[in-house]
Amino acid sequence: MEQTSDLEIFLVATPGLEAPLHAETVEKGFAAAKIVPGGVSCRGDWTEVWRANLCLRGANKVLVRLGSFPAVHLAQLDKRARKFPWSDILRPDIPVKVEATSRKSRIYHAGAARQRIERAISETLGAPISSDAGLRVLLRIEKDICTLSVDTSGEPLHKRGHKPAVAKAPMRETMAAMFLRECGFDGSEPVLDPMCGSGTFVIEAAEIALGLNPGRSRHFAFEDLHGFDSKAWTAMQQTDARSETDMVFHGSDRNAGAADAATTNADRAGVAAHTRFQCKSVSDIKPPAGPAGLVIVNPPYGARIGDEKRLRSLYGSLGKVLISRFSGWRVGIVTSNQSLARSTRLPMLAPGPVVDHGGTKIRLYRTDPLP
């Protein structure tokens, strides 16, 4: 396989957040971006693969499609896999993990198909196969067409690489960035999160305002692929288009441990000068000095019977505070329960699409600027 300049790049989206990821991909100048099942596809060379991992906030993974071929039985798959140009992509000294899925195909046993790919890689290239490997090759068999891809990200991209402290039920960074985008946030207005947990919304907002690349602090799987150019990658990392801003982004939480963790995380992310975290309850929040902006919050949803009455009171208090003190501010609330969102009595717009948050179905409820 040649180091082609026209790779098919597949950006894995959180289900329900394909549209904002597509908008971000177009905005960042990736070619031929379009929404497809499971995410967004675009095209480009290997440097565009690196750039997608480095700068896209909403992608969970960046996969590269290596090639496709038909196969209707395991012997055929075995033969084709042995002819596949693995040495163009993989290195013989880097362990590989293979994962396989099969759907509507005569090769229905995904485990047996996986073993054929593993054997082809180990016997033709010499690369070790390991279930713990950081480099993944993916086989998808659909309607007798086998498609091979490589996961160029490694660890999921919400792991930005600079956030040690995580609160309970954390909002993933990739999701937080896309919800901020859905609220119209572009880095030019203040943000306040009155239930900030480990500070994800506030830190993402500060990074966006400062023009920081989300992947600036971490390692990626593509660094272990054949032909990786470390000098070109270092040069790309150093072109961080950092912006200047005098804006400060605010978070608060009634849990002092959460506010402390958020402060630590902001410091590690390099945005401490542009973030403020305080320990206070929702009833005590006030708008910071300066222009109106966005209040965005991911309140508790309540999983147990009996939670809802207590949570209605919490959402009601939040709504009262926002209506009485935050005139001119827009609001975004992420929750799994429409009746809880309504308990705020805020003038909600039509809710956003259903988003899968670790098996919980959540939605974004937004307002225009409050009167």
Q: How confident is the model over 33-59, as pLDDT tens digits?
A: 999 999 999 999 999 999 999 999 999
Sign of dihedral through CA atoms 279, 281, 282, 285? negative
SS (H, E, C) 216-265: CCCCCHHHHCCCCCHHHHHHHHCCCCCCCCCCCEEEEECCHHHHHHHHHH
Average pLDDT over residues 230-245: 88
Q: Which residues pair with 348 in a beta bridge?
A: 367
Distance of alpha carbon 70 from alpha carbon 27, whole angstroms: 36
pLDDT category at 199 given cuts 50, 70, 90 is: very high
**Of 140, 52, 103, nearest in space to 40 by CA:** 52
The CATH architecture one would assign to domain 7-151 is: 2-Layer Sandwich (3.30)
Give the three-class secondary structure for 18. Answer: helix
Reading the block at residue 238, the tokens are 């150093």
Angle, alpha carbons 202-205-207 (nearest 5°): 110
- Exposed / middle / buried, residue 147 (Cβ in 10 Å: 0-12, 13-18, 19+): middle
Residue reference for tokens 């009833």: 283
The pLDDT tens digits of the residues spanning 66-87 come to 999 999 999 999 999 999 999 9
Tell me the pLDDT tens digit for each residue of 109-135.
999 999 999 999 999 999 999 999 999
Q: Look at residue 243 in the predicted model and tell me its pLDDT.
A: 82
The answer to whether residues 89 and 120 touch, using CB atoms and an 8 Å cutoff, is: no
Rounded Cα distance between 168 and 101, Å, is 32
Tokens of 185: 């946030």
Q: What is the pLDDT of residues 96-115, one digit of tens each?
A: 999 999 999 999 999 999 99
Domain ranges of the chain: 7-151, 173-216+242-366
pLDDT band at 239 (very low <50, low <70, confident <90, very high): confident
Q: Across residues 153-166, what is the average pLDDT? A: 86
- Whether the pLDDT of residue 29 is over 70: the answer is yes
Q: Mark out the alpha helices in the chain (DSSP H runs).
A: 18-27, 46-55, 74-83, 110-124, 173-182, 200-210, 230-237, 256-269, 307-325, 338-343
Q: What was the pLDDT predicted at 302?
A: 75
Q: Quick check: 224 pLDDT over 50?
A: yes
* Residue 303 reports pLDDT greater than 80: no
Q: What is the percent of the chain where pLDDT is above 70?
A: 96
pLDDT band at 2 (very low <50, low <70, confident <90, very high): very low
pLDDT recorded at residue 315:
97
Tokens representing 157 are 């991209």
Query: What integer is the mean pLDDT of 187-198?
Result: 96
Q: How confident is the model at residue 4 (pLDDT cuts 50, 70, 90)?
A: low
Q: How far apart are CA 255 and CA 274, in angstroms?
A: 21
> What does pLDDT average to over the chain?
94
pTM of the predicted model as reported, rounded to 2 decimal places:
0.95
- Local confidence band at 309 (pLDDT 50, 70, 90 cut-offs): confident
Alpha carbon distance 110, 351 (integer Å): 39
Does pLDDT of 1 surpass 70? no
Residue 306 has pLDDT above 70, yes or no: no
The 10 Å Cβ neighbour count of residue 254 is 14
A 10 A CB-CB count for 68 gives: 13
CATH topology of domain 173-216+242-366: Rossmann fold (3.40.50)
pLDDT at residue 168 in the model: 60
pLDDT above 90 as % of the chain: 90
Number of Cβ atoms within 10 Å of the Cβ of 39: 23
